[in-house]
A and B are shown apart, each in its own frame.
Chain A
Amino acid sequence: MNAKGRVHKFGDNVDTDVIIPARYLNTASHKELAAHCMEDIDAQFVNKVQQGDIMVAEKNFGCGSSREHAPIAIKASGISCVIASTFARIFYRNSINIGLPILECDEAAREIQDGDTVSVDFNTGVITDETTGKTYQAEPFPEFIQNIISKGGLINSILD
């Protein structure tokens, strides 16, 4: 499985309140949530994002609330993968559970710039910044988590 797209770059401590503000949590509709994705940190994000684009952020991405609406909004906005230096732990497990691909790679997260074109090979964890030509190696998932992903998410893995 691979992803390739244009990068939307963010900094440290992007919290779930800016990813999807609570004023929009009165719906569980993926489409409605996507329409407000990143609204309080970049009001133009939803107008710029295209199917397959990649989000890159620095440390502690997704901190704060446990709202699964946050990875849902990102995934439904068209983002194919999130790369960060580190993820807040609830966001990390929510992403795995709903099948939003995420990768931790500090060097890539710091060096990749907004607007770069990046490709990701999920099997090897290799991230390529096609704009600069540089490649990075992300940490592979532990087997336990790979098993959840390969079964198509947590629920499939427990109903199996």
Chain B
Amino acid sequence: MQVTSRNFKENSSKALKDDDLRVALNRVKTGFTTARATAASELPEFEELRNKSRDIKNDVLENLDYYLEYFEEKVLAQGGHVHWCSNATEAKAAILKICRDADAKTVTKGKSMITEEIALNKFLAAEGIEPIETDLGEYIIQLADEPPSHIIGPAVHKTKEQVTELFYEHHQKYGYTERQEDPEKLVGEARAVLRHKYVTADVGITGANFLVAETGSTVIVTNEGNGDLTQSLPKTHIVVASLEKIIPTLEDVSTVMRVLARSATGQEMSVYTTFSTGPKRSADIDGPENFHVVLLDGGRTEMLGTELEELLRCIRCGACMNHCPVYHAVGGHSYGWVYPGPIGAALNPQMVGLEEARHLPNASTFCGRCEEVCPVHIPLPKILRHWREKAFEQQIGPKPERWGIELWGFFAKRPTLYRLVTGIAARVLTKIAGRRGRIKSLPLMGGWTSVRDLPAPQGATFMAQWKKSGRGTQK
């Protein structure tokens, strides 16, 4: 997708004025947060499971090469193929080759953030292969030609009325000529349209929530069942996954599964968790004849052994954005790249460059709620701070902001001068406010006073009054 992270402020300004989006984001805020809290409270072992999940992922990252090779061996033993790809270009080339070998005209797709990351749909379409998203949310935004605005609810920003119009416009060719207003009927219509696509597609592409080293299995988690139809009906199944998705054993997957859906939607389990291992066996009467795993690095190995390594524990549950007040305010599209919310703000500077994404780590109050709910304890605020430090070092960002901080730092390091300056500032501000007790607008403080009054100081500073009172200042 086209990166617009640079325009975060403009994007969010527009988002804040979008009334439909406000309603949609409010639903995210209340719906997901309540559901997660309930699910967590109903499982006494939840915190213990979060800690264990973190440990499992840490072990994976420590020994990633070993687990990947183990996984590969198991996939090969079951008759599947593994394609190692350093970057998006290699991954797209590998996928295209498989599609060509299958003589593919249409490809059905399960929900996959990695294919968003490598912009696979546009690529396939340009190569004359029609990609069809089958997750309802992904299908909706594909029709709207938009990127996802949430990693587990790609169309959370869309209203029912917008879906009605999209289906009315795009489903006439299938004989659905009436506008459907009822969500149930809308889902029914998408179901009917897509059902036939599953059966006729040449290739099915899914992502993976986990890759199991022990068995060489790839795992997808869905509520709709679209991923299962996508991967079991076409002759060829391609799994596109980034390499940190590895989990050592089925026991470890079971542990992480227990925190995934609870953190994401507040379900105890998603409806369908599907383990796929190799192509169909010789005696099987259904299933794909070819099974390919496209393993994407995409900049991840460079994060190992650095401050960013902990981001690779992410299991893409979306809890951080579900609980983020900034996401609740601006929605997913404002972030300007595939991953929105706190995980996006932490990850995107690495993926698209700090210069491009510099706003994202800055647009946070460090409220810490994301880290509090992250099932694998990723210290997101710490990583956002890391990016701010990098930006400061590299002098990325507006100069005046930097000068302001440097000037303030200059005084803060010199107590006597600091006293003098703060004393003057307090008196001046008190005077400006007069009896009103607050200031409505102030030069150089437009960022504050454009939104709120400035409660005025009370006169002399505390330190000045304390000194005057002659009370203790030393041990």
Do the two shown chains form a genuine complex with each other? no
Q: Which residues of B contact A (CB under 8 A)?
A: none
Q: Which residues of A contact B (CB under 8 A)?
A: none
